[in-house]
Structure 1
């Protein structure tokens, strides 16, 4: 019963990350309209909350595993670890989702070479796996 919150947070985070990736894959904001602003806000909020929830849950599982093996830490260690990891992941995944959102469903974005890559993109932080080819190549 004690793992319900962490598991729920992990699943909610994965769902929010998947929503952000699907939104970025399917829509490119073109201007400053209210609709484009709402889509951009939805993408950003779901990506950041998804990363926060998932990384917090994974950190809880990791440090609980360490505690079960006899390694104890003060609460500030897992909190600091999750804080730093969340910020780094959000930073890099926001960069990647911006690249992805600039050209949705563009064949230059290497997703079609690996059909499982699109599924993996729903996992927060996995946007680090996307490699965007430079636009100078033909």
Structure 2
């Protein structure tokens, strides 16, 4: 029963991250309209909340595993670890999602090794799978 909240947080975080990535893949804001601002805000909020929930859940699982094998630590250790990791992941994934949103459904956006990996891009750190071809068209 004690893992219900972290598991629900992990699933909710992965869902929110996937919503953010799929929205960024399918829509590019073109100007300062209210609709474009709302879509950009939706992407940012869902990406940040998704990363927060999933990283916190993963940290809870990891530190509970450490605790179950006998490694004891103060509460500040997992809280600080999750805080720092969440901020680093949010910062990096926001940069990557902005890069991805510039060219939605563009053939120059390569999802490395497997096009179906776009579905898992909401997973923290998986935005590393996306790269953009150089303008010259060479890899």
Length-normalised TM-score, structure 1: 0.95
What residue in structure 1 maps to residue 15 of structure 2? 15
How much has 1:113 moved relative to structure 2? 4.8
Q: Deviations over 1:51-99 (max 9, x none)?
A: 0000000000000000001001101111110011001101110011001
What residue in structure 1 maps to residue 34 of structure 2? 34
For the pair 1:95 / 2:95, whether they are aligned, the reply is: yes
Cα RMSD over matched residues? 1.3
Following TM superposition, the consecutive aligned residue runs of length 4 or more in structure 1 with deviations greater than 6 angstroms are none
Please give the secondary structure, in 1, of the residue aligned with 2:74: coil
CA distance in 2, matches of 1:118, 1:34: 27
For the pair 1:109 / 2:98, whether they are aligned, the reply is: no
What residue in structure 2 maps to residue 73 of structure 1? 73
CA contact (8 A) 1:14 1:50 kept: yes
Runs of 5+ consecutive residues of structure 1 not aligned to the other structure: none
Runs of 5+ consecutive residues of structure 2 not aligned to the other structure: none
CA distance in 1, matches of 2:13, 2:134: 31
CA distance in 1, matches of 2:122, 2:93: 11
How much has 1:112 moved relative to structure 2? 7.4
Length-normalised TM-score, structure 2: 0.94
CA contact (8 A) 2:17 2:122 kept: yes
CA distance in 2, matches of 1:50, 1:20: 9
CA distance in 2, matches of 1:123, 1:22: 12
Number of equivalent positions: 138
CA contact (8 A) 1:109 1:130 kept: yes
CA distance in 2, matches of 1:116, 1:102: 20
What residue in structure 1 maps to residue 25 of structure 2? 25
Query: Cα 1:107–1:113, aligned 2, differ >3 Å: closer, same or farther?
Result: farther
